[in-house]
Amino acid sequence: MTEVDRLRYLRVVLILAGVSCLAPYPLMLFWPSGWAWHNGHSDYPMMIVGIYATLGVFLILAARDPIANLSLIWFAAWSSVVHGAIMAVQALTQPGQMGHLAGDVPALFVVAGALAILTPRSQAARHRRHNQA
């Protein structure tokens, strides 16, 4: 895959990841066993929705110039790995939470993997950007 193709695919993945960050609230409503962590009333779900919606908007904006937004992209990738790993452990150790292993946990790992595979490493990206100027 050429670097041009890689950046093109990265732009698509950034838009898809951004849109998927806007999906947790409806998913919590329609598939609670795979997406909602608290039974009954809790402020936690809306905090997560707010954080992910904000990240989603910025990922969509980053698709315009991925090279200029490498730190945001790497934050999205690594925070997804950490978040997914913590949730996987919690799903395995808390009764009634196994549904998350088919819902939000793999979704986080898929997003992280796609971003990590397609995102240029910062030194190489800086070199290309310098040569374009």
Per-residue pLDDT tens digits of the chain, which is 133 residues long? 788 899 999 999 999 999 999 998 888 888 887 787 776 667 888 888 999 999 999 999 999 999 999 999 999 999 999 999 999 999 999 888 888 899 899 999 999 999 999 999 855 555 565 555 5
| pTM strictly above 0.85 | no
24, 48 in Cβ contact below 8 A? Answer: yes
Which residue's entry shows tokens 């997003």? Answer: 111
* Domain map (residue ranges) of the chain: 3-33+44-132
